[in-house]
Structure 1
């Protein structure tokens, strides 16, 4: 009997661990801070750069939407839509396989992939803003008479 009890406890522990990996799906909805100025082309470039940098495959690009997908270890697959404007974007879940999507919940790895993607897009836009500001300051310094 102790052997059967031990097996039952291990099975329950594994079941509890597996069920904890699903979390409510997140769709980052980001409006840029007023200090970050970008146009549609810069926003599109930041989105595509972040996707490619994180291993996503860009499927479609239009002036208002980027669609992408990722497949990890030929087992986990996710597809997203990113509608965007010059100062706003949203990362929306479209479809997946192997990530246990059900009732608005999905595997925690998808949540992490989207969170990192969101972070990279914002970082790229901030870096571009800082580069433009530095360039403007250096040009202004060159124009000033001594």
Structure 2
């Protein structure tokens, strides 16, 4: 294979690899399944607990919004807003550095972090629901003669 063709193919392969690191921005918008019953305080607790467990720093908490940020290896930094209600939340991108945000695309690490947060919040709410159900069942069993 001629030298120039080989160099061109290698350059194209490297360019393709570099462009694959940026993915469309992800803003999970989740309405809870009817089987998961929570109030606003439980939703807030699940969000904050998941953020802390995943290494995010909670910046601000209000009855409708949680703001958080994460810095990884002093190189990657992301900030998010999570507006929420008793049965709904949305993880929204606010700002970043080192994650190459441009034209609605961002580094794949951010996408992974947000997906893990989304799954963690749902898992936390399900676990809380299961604990409350188990407690109610055990209390009902204790009341019966």
TM-score range, shorter chain: over 0.9
Q: Distance in 1 between matches of 2:2 and 2:96?
A: 41
- Which whole-Å CA distance do the structure 1 matches of 2:98 and 2:23 have between them? 14
Q: Residue by residue, what CA displacement relative to the aligned partner does 1:97-117 show, whole Å, maximum 9, x if unpaired? A: 111111111111111100000
CA deviation after TM superposition for structure 1 residue 10, in Å: 2.4
Normalising by structure 1, we get a TM-score of 0.93
> Normalised by the size of structure 2, how large is the TM-score?
0.94
What's 1:49 paired with? 49
Query: 1:72-128 CA distances to partner (integer Å, 9 max, x unpaired)?
Result: 111111110000011110000011111111111111111110000000000000000
Q: How far 1:13 sits from its partner (Å)?
A: 1.4
Q: How many residues align?
A: 145
Using the alignment, how far apart are the partners of 2:3 and 2:73 within structure 1? 36
Partner of 1:128: 128
Residues 28-64 of structure 1 deviation map (CA, whole Å, 9 limit, x = unaligned): 1111111111111111110011111111111111111
Is residue 2:77 matched to residue 1:80?
no
Partner residue, 2:103: 103
**1:3 Cα offset (Å):** 4.8
Q: Which moved more, 1:73-82 or 1:2-11?
A: 2-11
C-alpha RMSD over aligned residues: 1.4
| Structure 1: runs of 5+ lacking an equivalent | none
Matched, 1:139 2:131: no
CA distance in 2, matches of 1:62, 1:85: 11
Q: CA deviation at 1:7?
A: 3.7
Gaps of 5+ in 2: none
Distance in 1 (CA, whole Å) between partners of 2:93 and 2:41 is 23
